[in-house]
Structure 1
């Protein structure tokens, strides 16, 4: 759901669908609702915190890094190749230029997911979230290195939240980068929710969760910001709050299995879909608009469904066969 919300947001805002007008021109009413789809990123970060804490429990540091690399890179590398190929063969112009920087050096840097800190343009704009994910992994590796326990994880969460708030208050760019800036609260909330599931809700965990909610609400206005037209803040507050409630209910499920099954099914296509949807989706919509007489809402809806196909292909023929092999190669002695 998070990736679908982000995709609809991208398809209905911020680019010139016909080369001149943004999608809001064609969808004046719907765009005022779909504009909030960017908040799917916040939900994704919470789920990530939840899932990473769950999957790293009892694991070695070597296994932790091997599992994260094997999860991130095979689909990501495929996404870089496919997106570069499509935007090279079928370039489009518009509010956001579609042709990506095609220097071999720039593409090579993109393969590392370090293009943002190195100041290299991304092949696709959505890759910025992966840099946030990488920083979260590096921070949580501190806990994994010592062995993930309830006490260590709680101390880590409190320290991280304090450092993230201090970075913003003191306006220290390096500290903001290290602490994942405005998104730290969402990762921390996800980890706290997993602790609730594993150990049961405690006043301390509720306090951490409440603290992250309050900080995230305080910073939400910066995320809403200007979007070409004024939009109210309260729907964003409601959406993020409902995300908290939904994940807390999953965390407090005594058996846990329905929640895990839902996360497993949703997660299978979410990542490759997210990697592929933006620039390739823009291309599909633009050429569909120019070559057919289909209404814009139909084009956008059809593109969302269509992009599930390459997402499934990447999951089936890249992630499933290559992920385990890469993990085994990176950590052959790790406990699986």
Structure 2
């Protein structure tokens, strides 16, 4: 339950940022009187992904682990992408009217780029099927890199390097990645190197929980990560980084402390349920949520809290359907055979479930969701 709470808090801020803040940027959606745009939710989801790489990689071969990760996130992503694409093809011309409007009408090229996970290389966050999907290429790149490093480590480096060296190496690579913008401005973000320090933070917390990383070393890693994030966040920078720091602290408590289930009482079941569909929420909440908000605005639904409630309800129901009808059955069909997996299963992507009932992702993000959508420059924070 500890991890469920962290995941639900993170995805809540991701959704709140887009429902209350992001939608207000679209002229034909009526704005709400409240706005909560603190884009630390997807960053938190990426840290969670880094944390759960440790316990899952140690139980499977690198190849089978990568297979499991991709089978968990890609089928649901592809279905959500296709649904979002078709919906936009239908509603964008209606919403825009006879003139060019704020609703981007995606074409076949956009669909192909998203299917190939290369959409961030265009460098234009405003021409996206869904800006939140920037985290999927980052996730896949992180998983592939982790699998490759794990495979090589087990054969060549296991007795030569301490895990802390690898963690600091990833932080260093992320810190210097902006120099790659000299090749092309989108290279650091499109390759995921710009966000590698977030995965390193999660890995460091897991190593610390296993007594393989000393407390002072963990504090130094997390301080470095927060320092990088301070320079890479939009306003309000200090508040965003402070919130991320609180989430990192909660992760440390969850990693070594007792489970929080006894403190949650009646909230335990709904939190666990929301955590279980969190990846689905991440996939459907932004652009499809904007479509619902636009329809309700056109219907002149009042008061504002009713419109917001209807948007959130639609998001949750769509996420539940995506999880139950697509993510879980396709993972059972396409994922590694359970008979050959040992130990208790724990999944560590932005979506899916982890040991102890935690749903792991897309996270994140977020991306967009949090970090959402690649910007025109390297030093842009995704929101």
Q: TM-score range by the shorter chain?
A: 0.7 to 0.9
Q: Is 2:287 the counterpart of 1:287?
A: no
- Out of 224, 242, 246, the residue aligned to residue 242 of structure 1 is 246
Aligned length: 316
Q: Is the Cα–Cα contact under 8 Å of residues 70 and 323 in structure 1 kept in the other structure? A: yes
Q: Which has the higher contact order (CA 8 A, sep 6+)?
A: 2
Give the C-alpha shift of residue 287 in structure 1: 1.0
Q: Is the Cα–Cα contact under 8 Å of residues 164 and 179 in structure 1 kept in the other structure? A: no
Greater mean alpha carbon deviation, residues 304-313 or residues 105-114? 105-114
TM value normalised by structure 1: 0.81
- Out of 103, 106, 115, the residue aligned to residue 119 of structure 2 is 115
Find the residue that maps to 1:167 and give its secondary structure. helix
Q: 1:61 maps to what in 2?
A: 62
When residues 211 and 79 of structure 1 are mapped into structure 2, their CA distance, relative to the original with a 3 A threshold, is same
2:319 and 2:61 mapped to 1: Cα distance?
Answer: 31
Superposition pairs for residues 175-190 of structure 1, below 5 Å? 176-177=188-189, 180-190=192-202
2:261 and 2:54 mapped to 1: Cα distance?
Answer: 17
Give the C-alpha shift of residue 138 in structure 1: 2.5
Q: Is 2:328 the counterpart of 1:316?
A: no
- Out of 193, 196, 200, the residue aligned to residue 208 of structure 2 is 196
Q: 2:170 maps to what in 1?
A: 160
In the alignment, structure 2 segments of 5+ residues that lack a partner are 1-8, 263-267, 343-383
When residues 208 and 332 of structure 1 are mapped into structure 2, their CA distance, relative to the original with a 3 A threshold, is same
Structure 1 residues 259-290: Cα deviation after superposition (integer angstroms, max 9, x where no partner): xx999755421111111111111111111122
Find the residue that maps to 1:65 and give its secondary structure. helix
Aligned alpha-carbon RMSD (Å): 3.4
Find the residue that maps to 1:307 and give its secondary structure. helix
Q: Would you tell me which structure has more helix in proportion to its own residues? A: 1
Q: Is the Cα–Cα contact under 8 Å of residues 88 and 99 in structure 1 kept in the other structure? A: no
Find the residue that maps to 1:58 and give its secondary structure. coil
Q: 1:213 maps to what in 2?
A: 226
Greater mean alpha carbon deviation, residues 273-282 or residues 86-95? 86-95
Q: 1:228 maps to what in 2?
A: none
TM value normalised by structure 2: 0.72
